[in-house]
Amino acid sequence: MYCISPSIALPSHLLSNDAFLNTSTGFILDGVTALRAWCSDPSFCTLLEYHQNPRYFAFDDPVYKYEDGIAHKDGDTLLLRGDLLDLAITAKEITVYIGPDVCANVTRSRKLLGCVLPQTQPEAGDNLGKKTDKNLPFVRVFHGTHLAFDIGYIRYPSTSITVLVCVVSVVVLLIFVIVAIVIYRKAKSARKEVEERRTDLIMKKIEKTEDMMAASGVVGVQQSEM
């Protein structure tokens, strides 16, 4: 059986960040009073642990260092900061909305939550179609079924900037290829010139040797005639 655990309102001073509260478990069934205190003895069952609620920092918090309080997409991953983000919850129970779209593959640690952003900028507003005044997608985190946190707006790079970056990258790549070809041809030409010079030297040595051998032969003939 699967059921959602109820929330409990506790004064914040009762629990520190690392502390938790054990609670008994029961079920309300028609006429079955015994199950209303089904788990109250830890020697027979596992008590529920209740922790303090997590904290998520909005984009206008100084921890992000965003001048205008708006996040800027930098890469494929969105990182959210906070505290107690990994207590009493699994990553599958956390949903991060970027406008009406969902940020995929949620991972979290005690102070960080990461997810993979949609490739293109979602429609403006939040997951309910509201908060459209800035014409940007709004980030909202649903932490389980009871808690929702408004994080703020996020801006994707404009299409013109993306195109400009692509054009510059292609131009740089072409320049690199051209320079590589020029260097290769110069190196090949230099090697050819060295080989030609080496061949000339060898030929000159051969010719010189042949001349010396021919001269030695003439001298030998003259001496024999005498």
Taking the C-alpha atoms of residue 171 and residue 182, their distance in angstroms, rounded to an integer, is 16
| DSSP 8-class letter at 69 | S
Taking the C-alpha atoms of residue 185 and residue 141, their distance in angstroms, rounded to an integer, is 58
The H or E element containing residue 80 is strand 77-83
Taking the C-alpha atoms of residue 160 and residue 165, their distance in angstroms, rounded to an integer, is 9
Angle among Cα 164, 170, 175 to the nearest 5 degrees reads 125
Higher pLDDT among residues 4 and 121, named by residue: 121
What is the value of pTM for the model shown?
0.63
Per-residue pLDDT of 127-180, as tens digits, reads 999 999 899 999 999 998 889 999 999 999 986 555 666 778 888 888 888 888
Taking the C-alpha atoms of residue 93 and residue 5, their distance in angstroms, rounded to an integer, is 13
Per-residue pLDDT of 31-83, as tens digits, reads 777 777 767 666 767 777 778 889 999 999 999 999 889 999 999 999 999 99
